Structure 1
Amino acid sequence: MYRWVVKHSNYNVEVEDCAPYKGVSSPADCIPVRMAAAKNARDWYRNAENVIPISALVNIFGREISTQMNNVWHNNNFSSTLSCIVQISLSPHGRIVGQPVMIRSSGNPHFDRTTIAAIEKAAPFTPPPGLPYSKYKTVNIDFAH
């Protein structure tokens, strides 16, 4: 019996034994079966991307940005009531294009500058597979301390 796993950066699909198939007596005989299994796995993954709602992918991306921001935000010297909204433009690969724009200031210039610095340090923001570029080309980050 011969077993293998079709591997891709985003999925692993275990393929059934090909030994029970007529005429399969060695791993080399499994090649046509393995090729068909790999194609089926690729098709499955492509279809799975289309099944996930765009809104869910947007939420996943938002949580990822939030996590990356929290990983680089180390300044606890601000009031917990401060918040601001910063708009960024992203490349298809999640890199910041141009300068972040303050959409709504916190009223504290130092907090605003520190927030923009944290956004720049946290980038790039890698979008989840299947999320159309039009959904993350421009991102508003509502940052509250």
Structure 2
Amino acid sequence: MHILVVDDLTTDRFIVKKMLQPEYHVTTLASAREALAFASTRPFDIAILNVMLKDDLDGIDLLLDLRDMKGPAFQAFAITCHVDDRRASLLLDSGFVEILKKPFDKDHFTRLLGKYRPVPTLTEAPRLRRRAA
């Protein structure tokens, strides 16, 4: 499974990558702009997005743009330092499938990831149909 991690903090990108490798293929990026450029040309299965990016887009806006590109089955986790019930509801209502609170707990993190399997995206669906034909 290929996981895209978007976080503006170098240390957090490093920590997430170290926790997930070698079990997963991980690409880390520092901004929403980089993520959108990457997503337009490369496939990945799940995104892990920092909610508070220091960018022109926050994590929710990035999620919505990625979902427009990849289709409604696209799956993303939110990572954040601060989450209360109201914030959690907002994130889940926006389309995040899980919320990971910093600091990260590796066992909890990998257990959550294990619940999700790659889902064909809009860009992958035509290839799947052609193979079946």
Where on the TM-score scale, by shorter chain, does this alignment land: which range? under 0.3
Query: Structure 2 length as normaliser, TM-score?
Result: 0.23
Which has more strand, going by share of residues? 1
Query: Structure 1 length as normaliser, TM-score?
Result: 0.21
